[in-house]
Amino acid sequence: MAPPSFRKFNEQETSQISQMSESLLIPRQIQAQLCSQRKSGRPAIVKDIYNQVKKIKKDKLQGRRPIDALIDTLKEEKFVFSSAMDSEGHITSLFFTHPLAIKILHGFPHVILMDCTYKTSNYKTPLFHIFGFSSTNKTFSGAFCLLKNDTEPSYTWELNQYIEKVLKSTNLVPPPVIVFDRDLTLKNSLKKLYPDSKVML
Protein backbone atom coordinates (compact mmCIF):
# COMPACT_ATOMS: atom_id res chain seq x y z
CA MET A 1 0.00 0.00 0.00
CA ALA A 2 1.25 3.48 -0.87
CA PRO A 3 2.25 5.80 2.01
CA PRO A 4 -0.45 8.21 3.29
CA SER A 5 1.29 11.28 1.83
CA PHE A 6 1.05 9.73 -1.64
CA ARG A 7 -2.63 8.88 -1.16
CA LYS A 8 -3.69 12.29 0.13
CA PHE A 9 -6.64 13.91 -1.67
CA ASN A 10 -6.14 17.31 -3.25
CA GLU A 11 -8.64 20.14 -2.88
CA GLN A 12 -10.53 19.28 -6.07
CA GLU A 13 -10.83 15.62 -5.11
CA THR A 14 -12.04 16.51 -1.62
CA SER A 15 -14.77 18.65 -3.18
CA GLN A 16 -15.70 15.86 -5.58
CA ILE A 17 -15.89 13.31 -2.75
CA SER A 18 -18.22 15.64 -0.84
CA GLN A 19 -20.49 16.11 -3.88
CA MET A 20 -20.59 12.40 -4.72
CA SER A 21 -21.29 11.49 -1.12
CA GLU A 22 -24.22 13.92 -1.06
CA SER A 23 -25.46 12.21 -4.24
CA LEU A 24 -25.51 8.95 -2.20
CA LEU A 25 -22.62 7.26 -3.99
CA ILE A 26 -20.93 4.65 -1.81
CA PRO A 27 -17.13 4.75 -1.25
CA ARG A 28 -16.43 2.04 -3.86
CA GLN A 29 -18.34 4.02 -6.50
CA ILE A 30 -16.46 7.17 -5.52
CA GLN A 31 -13.21 5.22 -5.80
CA ALA A 32 -14.04 4.19 -9.38
CA GLN A 33 -14.76 7.80 -10.33
CA LEU A 34 -11.52 9.11 -8.82
CA CYS A 35 -9.39 6.38 -10.40
CA SER A 36 -10.86 7.12 -13.84
CA GLN A 37 -9.93 10.81 -13.47
CA ARG A 38 -6.41 10.42 -12.13
CA LYS A 39 -3.67 10.48 -14.74
CA SER A 40 -0.74 10.04 -12.38
CA GLY A 41 -1.59 6.46 -11.42
CA ARG A 42 -1.97 7.41 -7.76
CA PRO A 43 -4.23 4.90 -5.98
CA ALA A 44 -7.58 5.78 -4.44
CA ILE A 45 -8.15 3.55 -1.42
CA VAL A 46 -11.72 2.81 -0.30
CA LYS A 47 -10.75 3.16 3.37
CA ASP A 48 -9.30 6.63 2.70
CA ILE A 49 -12.51 7.65 0.94
CA TYR A 50 -14.61 6.31 3.80
CA ASN A 51 -12.52 8.30 6.31
CA GLN A 52 -12.78 11.44 4.18
CA VAL A 53 -16.57 11.12 3.94
CA LYS A 54 -16.73 10.65 7.70
CA LYS A 55 -14.60 13.77 8.22
CA ILE A 56 -16.78 15.81 5.84
CA LYS A 57 -19.93 14.78 7.71
CA LYS A 58 -18.33 15.62 11.06
CA ASP A 59 -17.21 19.04 9.81
CA LYS A 60 -20.73 19.81 8.56
CA LEU A 61 -22.16 19.08 11.99
CA GLN A 62 -20.12 21.98 13.41
CA GLY A 63 -20.25 20.47 16.86
CA ARG A 64 -23.99 19.78 16.73
CA ARG A 65 -25.65 16.45 17.38
CA PRO A 66 -26.84 14.79 14.14
CA ILE A 67 -30.50 15.19 15.12
CA ASP A 68 -29.96 18.92 15.81
CA ALA A 69 -28.27 19.32 12.43
CA LEU A 70 -31.24 17.60 10.80
CA ILE A 71 -33.68 19.95 12.53
CA ASP A 72 -31.65 22.94 11.34
CA THR A 73 -31.72 21.61 7.78
CA LEU A 74 -35.49 21.08 7.92
CA LYS A 75 -35.90 24.68 9.05
CA GLU A 76 -33.57 26.05 6.37
CA GLU A 77 -35.31 24.08 3.62
CA LYS A 78 -38.78 25.18 4.81
CA PHE A 79 -40.00 21.69 5.69
CA VAL A 80 -43.15 21.17 7.72
CA PHE A 81 -42.17 19.08 10.74
CA SER A 82 -42.94 18.16 14.33
CA SER A 83 -41.20 16.11 16.97
CA ALA A 84 -41.93 14.12 20.12
CA MET A 85 -39.63 14.25 23.13
CA ASP A 86 -39.07 12.14 26.19
CA SER A 87 -38.95 13.40 29.79
CA GLU A 88 -35.27 14.35 29.38
CA GLY A 89 -35.88 16.48 26.29
CA HIS A 90 -34.48 13.98 23.78
CA ILE A 91 -36.25 13.70 20.45
CA THR A 92 -37.85 10.27 20.12
CA SER A 93 -39.86 10.72 16.90
CA LEU A 94 -39.65 13.17 14.02
CA PHE A 95 -42.31 13.78 11.36
CA PHE A 96 -41.48 15.84 8.28
CA THR A 97 -42.82 16.71 4.86
CA HIS A 98 -42.26 19.44 2.29
CA PRO A 99 -44.81 21.98 0.98
CA LEU A 100 -44.22 20.68 -2.54
CA ALA A 101 -45.06 17.14 -1.40
CA ILE A 102 -48.27 18.43 0.17
CA LYS A 103 -49.13 20.21 -3.09
CA ILE A 104 -48.70 16.96 -5.02
CA LEU A 105 -50.83 15.13 -2.44
CA HIS A 106 -53.61 17.62 -3.16
CA GLY A 107 -53.41 16.65 -6.82
CA PHE A 108 -53.56 12.91 -6.14
CA PRO A 109 -55.33 12.36 -2.79
CA HIS A 110 -57.29 9.21 -3.54
CA VAL A 111 -54.85 6.40 -2.71
CA ILE A 112 -52.12 6.63 -0.08
CA LEU A 113 -49.55 3.94 0.63
CA MET A 114 -47.81 3.52 3.96
CA ASP A 115 -44.70 1.51 4.65
CA CYS A 116 -42.28 1.16 7.53
CA THR A 117 -38.66 0.15 6.97
CA TYR A 118 -36.25 -0.93 9.66
CA LYS A 119 -32.54 -0.49 10.39
CA THR A 120 -32.09 2.04 7.58
CA SER A 121 -30.38 4.64 9.75
CA ASN A 122 -27.42 4.67 12.11
CA TYR A 123 -29.88 4.69 14.99
CA LYS A 124 -31.66 1.50 13.80
CA THR A 125 -35.03 3.23 14.22
CA PRO A 126 -38.07 2.59 12.01
CA LEU A 127 -38.58 4.98 9.09
CA PHE A 128 -42.24 5.46 8.23
CA HIS A 129 -42.94 6.49 4.64
CA ILE A 130 -46.21 7.86 3.27
CA PHE A 131 -46.41 8.02 -0.51
CA GLY A 132 -48.94 8.20 -3.31
CA PHE A 133 -49.57 7.46 -6.96
CA SER A 134 -49.69 10.06 -9.72
CA SER A 135 -51.95 9.86 -12.79
CA THR A 136 -49.05 8.24 -14.67
CA ASN A 137 -48.74 5.47 -12.03
CA LYS A 138 -45.53 6.89 -10.64
CA THR A 139 -45.01 7.03 -6.89
CA PHE A 140 -44.16 10.22 -5.02
CA SER A 141 -43.19 10.80 -1.40
CA GLY A 142 -45.77 12.52 0.77
CA ALA A 143 -44.17 12.45 4.22
CA PHE A 144 -41.62 10.68 6.40
CA CYS A 145 -41.35 9.94 10.08
CA LEU A 146 -38.49 8.60 12.18
CA LEU A 147 -40.19 6.59 14.89
CA LYS A 148 -39.04 5.52 18.33
CA ASN A 149 -40.37 2.02 17.69
CA ASP A 150 -43.10 0.16 15.81
CA THR A 151 -45.67 0.10 18.61
CA GLU A 152 -49.25 1.33 18.33
CA PRO A 153 -48.57 4.55 20.32
CA SER A 154 -45.74 5.43 17.90
CA TYR A 155 -47.90 4.77 14.83
CA THR A 156 -50.76 6.73 16.38
CA TRP A 157 -48.50 9.71 17.03
CA GLU A 158 -47.20 9.66 13.45
CA LEU A 159 -50.67 9.35 11.91
CA ASN A 160 -51.92 12.19 14.10
CA GLN A 161 -49.09 14.39 12.81
CA TYR A 162 -50.16 13.61 9.25
CA ILE A 163 -53.72 14.58 10.10
CA GLU A 164 -52.70 17.84 11.81
CA LYS A 165 -49.77 18.95 9.61
CA VAL A 166 -51.05 17.81 6.23
CA LEU A 167 -54.78 17.16 6.20
CA LYS A 168 -56.28 19.74 8.55
CA SER A 169 -53.79 22.55 7.98
CA THR A 170 -54.20 22.45 4.19
CA ASN A 171 -57.84 21.30 3.96
CA LEU A 172 -56.90 18.01 2.34
CA VAL A 173 -59.54 15.32 2.62
CA PRO A 174 -58.55 12.00 4.24
CA PRO A 175 -57.57 9.43 1.61
CA PRO A 176 -60.47 7.17 0.54
CA VAL A 177 -58.05 4.23 0.24
CA ILE A 178 -54.97 3.45 2.36
CA VAL A 179 -52.69 0.57 1.38
CA PHE A 180 -50.11 -0.75 3.84
CA ASP A 181 -47.98 -3.81 4.53
CA ARG A 182 -49.11 -6.63 6.81
CA ASP A 183 -48.62 -4.82 10.10
CA LEU A 184 -51.54 -5.43 12.43
CA THR A 185 -50.31 -2.80 14.88
CA LEU A 186 -50.42 -0.15 12.16
CA LYS A 187 -53.83 -1.44 11.06
CA ASN A 188 -55.24 -0.83 14.56
CA SER A 189 -54.05 2.79 14.51
CA LEU A 190 -55.41 3.34 10.99
CA LYS A 191 -58.85 2.00 11.93
CA LYS A 192 -59.07 4.39 14.87
CA LEU A 193 -57.82 7.53 13.12
CA TYR A 194 -59.15 6.95 9.59
CA PRO A 195 -62.53 5.25 10.20
CA ASP A 196 -63.95 6.34 6.82
CA SER A 197 -60.97 5.19 4.74
CA LYS A 198 -60.81 1.75 3.18
CA VAL A 199 -57.73 0.08 4.63
CA MET A 200 -56.15 -2.52 2.38
CA LEU A 201 -53.20 -4.89 2.85
Other C-beta atoms lying within 10 Å of the C-beta of residue 177: 12
Q: Contact at 8 Å (CB) between 129 and 117?
A: yes
Cα–Cα distance between 89 and 100 in angstroms, integer? Answer: 30
User: In this model, does residue 18 exceed pLDDT 80?
Assistant: yes
Assessment of whether the complete model's pTM goes beyond 0.75: yes
Task: Give all strands of the β-sheet with 80-85 in edge-to-edge order.
Answer: 80-85, 91-97, 139-146, 127-133, 111-117, 177-180, 198-200
Model confidence band, residue 184 (pLDDT cutoffs 50, 70, 90): confident
User: In this model, does residue 119 exceed pLDDT 70?
Assistant: no
Model confidence band, residue 130 (pLDDT cutoffs 50, 70, 90): very high
Cα–Cα distance between 27 and 52 in angstroms, integer? Answer: 10
pLDDT at position 2: 56
Segment 123-134 shows an average pLDDT of 86
Cα–Cα nearest to 97, from 117, 110, 78: 78
Cα of first residue to Cα of last residue in the chain, in angstroms, is 54
Cα–Cα distance between 126 and 128 in angstroms, integer? Answer: 6
Cα–Cα nearest to 185, from 153, 160, 162, 159: 153
Model confidence band, residue 89 (pLDDT cutoffs 50, 70, 90): confident
Cα–Cα distance between 1 and 175 in angstroms, integer? Answer: 58
